Amino acid sequence: MTTRKQDKAAITAADPLDSIISMAELHNNWGRWGADDVLGTLNFIDAGKRLEAAGLVRSGEVFSLSQPFDTDGPQKGWRRRTNPVHTMTDTGLDAEHGKQGFPHGFGGADDVIAMPLQCSTQWDGLGHIFDRGRAWNGRAAGDVVTSQGDLVTGIQTAAAHIVSRGVLLDVGRALGPELGRDDGELPDGFAITADHLESTVERQGSSSRVGRGDIVVIRTGQYTRARRNGWGDYAGGAAPGLSFSTAPWLHTSEIAGIATDTWGFEVRPNEFEGAFQPLHQIAIPNLGLFLGEMWNPDALAESCAADGRYDFMLTAAPLAITGAVGSPVNPIALR
């Protein structure tokens, strides 16, 4: 509790840069796993944690936590991010009319997709965000990511590591009563604090405890609202999300990763006037924390609410795209 009070004192809305510098100094994992580390907080996931996760599978229920990858997605072109473009290069019609050149009636279909790697459900890699010219573990940003990609912490380095105990914190449902809401959705612009996270754990029960090596999935309810009402400004606009003041909780909890059902993970508008994604600036380059965005926890949340069990086995491997700073992912929760 003392640490949290000190950190709140370091957050000065009138001086965003000083707040970021102070938080980065207080909460930093550089050198924790050696000078050559490329995994950051994924180092918290060990064999014991994976065995613990496997032991959580009881009913055999399985849930995809991915949004659809299609042209009807939320992207509107900001920062050149577009929705996926899916094209068929061979079709059933080609096969029917014998235009594929195969013998003995053999036919098939093939397709191709073009998309930004962070246009839908995804992981942010450790080369995605820099803090004052520095990447994860204190490396110079220009030495890490060049026109050839991320030469050090490319997302392929994480491809075999993200299998762990997952914990759903359904903050939208848990905080609804005190906000006078019964829809399980936090309003846009709502800043989720460490106290809100701990309150959610308390209300959900012991299966929601969060510890070393866990991957936390935050449900705010914004994705639910967007699917009901239309995307609107889901991609980049106002949203509920984590407060900058949660940086100490993200650090001391020793979680391996955290994902939300929103575009940007942290609350938007950001809490400092003129700032842009300041919690990212602490979490990725300073903590080495893997961030997931635009996940879809809704079906999982219904199942968890029904039986009161909020932990599960989670596998969420990124595509092994050499040098990429992020990756699409289809997270799978097994209960």
* Per-residue model confidence (pLDDT) at position 11: 61
pLDDT for 184 equals 95
Report the distance separating Cα 278 and Cα 332, nearest Å: 29
Angle between helix axes 194-204 and 171-179 (nearest 10 degrees) is 100
Q: Tens place of pLDDT for every residue, the chain, 335 residues?
A: 333 444 444 566 678 898 999 999 999 999 999 999 999 999 999 999 999 999 999 999 999 999 999 999 999 988 889 999 999 999 999 999 999 999 999 999 999 999 999 999 999 999 999 999 999 999 999 999 999 999 999 999 999 999 999 999 999 999 998 889 999 999 999 999 999 999 999 999 999 999 999 999 999 999 999 999 999 999 999 999 999 999 999 999 999 999 999 999 999 999 988 889 999 999 999 999 999 999 999 999 999 999 999 999 999 999 999 999 999 999 999 99
**Alpha carbons 321 and 323: distance in angstroms, whole number:** 6
Pair 45, 92 in one domain: no
The parent domain of residue 255 ranges over 2-78+116-334
What per-residue confidence (pLDDT) applies to 13?
A: 66
Whether 140 and 96 map to the same domain: the answer is no
Q: Is 128 in contact with 326 (CB distance < 8 Å)?
A: yes
Query: What's 172's domain CATH number?
Result: 3.50.30.50
**How far is 63 from 57, CA to CA, in rounded Å?**
12
Same domain, 106 and 236: no
- 290, 331 contact by CB (below 8 A): no
Q: What's the pTM value of the predicted model, to 2 decimals? A: 0.95
pLDDT for res 106: 95
Rounded Cα distance, 67 and 122, in Å: 10
Tell me: do 122 and 106 sit in the same domain.
no
Residues 284 and 138 in one domain: yes
Convert 58-82 to b/e letters by CB count within 10 Å (16 or more is b): eeeeebebbbebeeebbbeeeeebe
In this structure, what are the phi and psi dihedrals at residue 125, rounded to the nearest 5 degrees? Answer: -80, 175
Total of domains in the chain: 2
Same domain, 101 and 122: no
Which strands sit side by side in the sheet containing 257-260, from one edge to the other? 62-64, 332-334, 311-315, 163-169, 215-218, 257-260, 290-293, 122-124, 326-328
185 lies in the same domain as 271? yes
CA torsion sign for 277, 281, 285, 286 is negative
pLDDT of residue 188: 97
CA distance 31 to 18: 23
- 106 and 178 inside one domain: no
- What's the pLDDT score for residue 2? 33
Confidence at residue 241, expressed as pLDDT on a 0 to 100 scale: 98
Q: Same domain, yes or no, for 221 and 183?
A: yes
Q: Which of 114, 134, 166 is the last residue of a domain?
A: 114
- Same domain as 129, residue 35: yes
Same domain for 175 and 209, yes or no, is yes
